[in-house]
Amino acid sequence: MLCMRAINEAHMAEPGLAVVEIAAGDETTAFAVQSLLAAQCAIAPAAHATREPGQPGVRLRCFLDLRQAPD
C-alpha cells in the first residue's frame, strides 16, 4: 500500500476538476508528464514525487482544473 494521502472530495466536487496520479520510473519522467498537463490546463502541481520503499518507480499527484486556462 502506498503512503499517498486519500483523495479529498473537494478536489473533484464540480465538473472540470480532476485528480491525476502519475506513476513513472523516475522523477524526471514524472515531472515531464506534469509539465505536459500544465501546458493544457490549470493545475496545482506536485512539489515532489514519492518513492515507496520496495516498490519500483515514483508517484506524484496533481490537481487539474479544466475550467481555467493554463498560467
42 within some domain? yes
17 within some domain? yes
21 within some domain? yes
- Tally of domains in the chain: 1
Digit-coded pLDDT (tens) for 7-43: 666 556 688 888 899 999 999 999 999 999 999 999 9
**Model-level pTM?**
0.78
pLDDT of residue 56: 92
CA distances to 15, 35, 54, 59, 60 from 50, rounded to whole Å, are: 28, 17, 12, 5, 6
70 within some domain? no
31 within some domain? yes
Q: Which domain holds residue 31?
A: 10-50+57-65
